[in-house]
Structure 1
Amino acid sequence: MARPLKSSEGALGHMLGFRLNNAEFDVWDKKVKSSGLNKAEYFRQAVIDNRSVIQQKVHVVQGHFIPTKIFSAASNNLNQLARALNTANKAGTVSNHFLEEILSTLQSIESTLRFK
């Protein structure tokens, strides 16, 4: 006889995977073995019971703290603007005055992000 199906709330329908280097794996493996749980149960309990402490990486520039995620997103957006402006300039669809204005603004933003 087949095992009865779990309810949709009890079914484990999402699989996660991650990689560890040898030193990280040794620490992980010791903790799992000492817990008496299997790896999946240990991970679920660590995350769901919130026994883990996650800290966001912080970018430090001359005493100023900028969360890396925000810094990365801002840099990405500026790069996209610069690329679009360069493409428009090459196509001749933007005036020199507008180009100089935008470049000045981008340089000002860059200077602000670098805390010069």
Structure 2
Amino acid sequence: MDNEHSASSTKTPNKGGRPRKHEDGLAPAVSFRLPKAERAIWDEKVAASGLTASEFFRELVLKNRTQVVARARPNADAKRMLYLFNKASNNMNQLAHRANQDHRAGLVSESTYAGILAELSELRRLMLADIER
């Protein structure tokens, strides 16, 4: 009897409220977001299955009824390129903001302003083309 009592005495007594889940109970929730169109498809499939959303998800994922295609991990060069593009994009945004401010204040002519925007647009196009390669 002492052994039984000592095992339960190590746990904090439940002082009311909902009873504690068993140790094998459910872990914290897993959640994800979907665009509205995909959410509608999800809801239709869940409803057609006759399962709850949790049961449906478990059926699909845990019983391996899905086919997951892993994305290729970027190599070191791709990571470096994205890092540099992020830094350059921030600078380009600052230039565009300043050009816009100065144009509105009359400090930059219309042709200079248009030229700056054209160059920034071309840089953007080249960067996107490189990313897609």
With the length of structure 1 as denominator, give the TM-score of the two structures: 0.46
Q: Which has the higher helix share?
A: 2
With the length of structure 2 as denominator, give the TM-score of the two structures: 0.41
Q: Which has the higher strand share?
A: 1
Report which structure shows greater RCO (CA 8 Å, sep ≥6): 1
